């Protein structure tokens, strides 16, 4: 996955601040599960080389930078990312998606198989998982609930593969808003972990918890495969 702060999702839903990951480390957290309806105007499409300049511009947005690093002097979110190369490196285990609202790009996602993808960002990790990164690039799209729809679409995409047992995500430990955001989607904390210089708080969403929280999304997947 992209180096530079793990997961960027406090950008996603400053709306009611939630989705996150954690109460106490390693403990199941009980939360009130209030969610917004899916926004039918948002779709995820595969990213292509034509999106490189867009992703580079979003890299320079202050809200993206602050969610990907604890370095107050950082001028770019993903310092090692050269987007034409990142997009060219996509394969069956690593894909980038662009979120569009009524046809206009608003954010991006990366979905990988952390066990098989080529960079081995996650190191030694069990098979049959997906890992997701998410960020909203356009500042005027923050706080509108778009991130929740983006995540739910991505979760459907991941769990459409019946071999996937859980999804992991790695926001900065300092990104409390992201933790709350993920909690709303049923993620629970696994523990803190360093990815390079980044101090992250890994979270996990198991398939059974997703089915419980979003039964209608699970039914939609099943209907689409019949």
Residue 166 near residue 206, CB atoms below 8 Å: yes
- Mean pLDDT of the region 216-226: 75
Residue 197: what pLDDT? 86
- pLDDT higher than threshold 90 for residue 6: no
Strand, coil or helix: 96? strand
- pLDDT higher than threshold 60 for residue 17: no
Pairing mode of beta strands 104-112, 129-136 = antiparallel
Residue 153 near residue 172, CB atoms below 8 Å: no
**Is position 1 within any domain?**
no
- Identify the domain containing residue 190 by its residue range: 9-225
**Is position 2 within any domain?**
no
DSSP character at residue 80? T
Taking only the tens place, the pLDDT of each residue in 50-100 is: 999 999 999 999 999 988 888 888 899 888 889 999 999 999 999 999 999
**Is position 4 within any domain?**
no
The two tokens of residue 72 are: 């107050």
**Is position 82 within any domain?**
yes
Taking only the tens place, the pLDDT of each residue in 176-219 is: 999 999 999 999 999 999 998 899 999 999 999 999 999 999 98
What is the model's pTM? 0.83
CATH of the domain at 169: 3.40.630.30
**Is position 3 within any domain?**
no
% of residues, the chain, pLDDT over 90: 70
Cα–Cα dist 214/117, whole Å: 28
Number of domains in the chain: 1
Taking only the tens place, the pLDDT of each residue in 120-136 is: 999 999 999 999 999 99
Radius of gyration of the chain (CA): 16
**Is position 157 within any domain?**
yes
Residue 117: what pLDDT? 97
**Is position 116 within any domain?**
yes
What is the CA angle 88-162-87, rounded to 5? Answer: 10
Higher pLDDT pick, 181 / 26: 181
> Phi and psi of 30, rounded to 5°?
-100, 125
**Is position 26 within any domain?**
yes
Higher pLDDT pick, 10 / 100: 100
The two tokens of residue 111 are: 């979905």
- Mean pLDDT of the region 139-159: 96
Residue 10 near residue 136, CB atoms below 8 Å: no
């Amino acid at each position: 996955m992209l180096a530079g702060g793990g997961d960027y999702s406090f950008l996603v839903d400053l709306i009611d601040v939630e989705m996150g990951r954690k109460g106490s480390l390693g403990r199941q957290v009980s939360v009130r599960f209030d969610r917004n309806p899916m926004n039918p105007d948002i779709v995820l499409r595969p990213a292509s080389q034509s999106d490189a300049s867009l992703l580079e511009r979003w890299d320079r947005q202050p809200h993206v930078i602050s969610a990907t690093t604890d370095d107050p002097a950082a001028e770019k979110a993903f310092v090692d990312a050269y987007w034409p190369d990142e997009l060219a490196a996509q394969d069956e285990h690593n894909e980038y998606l662009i979120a569009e609202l009524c046809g206009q790009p608003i954010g991006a996602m990366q979905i990988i198989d952390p066990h098989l993808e080529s960079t081995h960002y996650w190191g030694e990790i069990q098979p049959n998982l997906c890992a997701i990164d998410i960020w909203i690039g356009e500042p005027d799209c923050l706080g509108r609930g778009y991130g929740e729809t983006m995540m739910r679409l991505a979760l459907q995409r991941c769990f459409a593969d019946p071999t996937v047992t859980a999804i992991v995500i790695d926001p900065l430990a300092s990104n409390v808003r992201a933790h709350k955001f993920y909690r709303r989607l049923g993620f629970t904390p696994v523990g803190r972990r360093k990815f390079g210089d980044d101090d992250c708080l890994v979270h996990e969403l198991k398939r059974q918890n997703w089915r419980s929280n979003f039964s209608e999304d699970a039914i939609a997947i099943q209907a689409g495969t019949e």
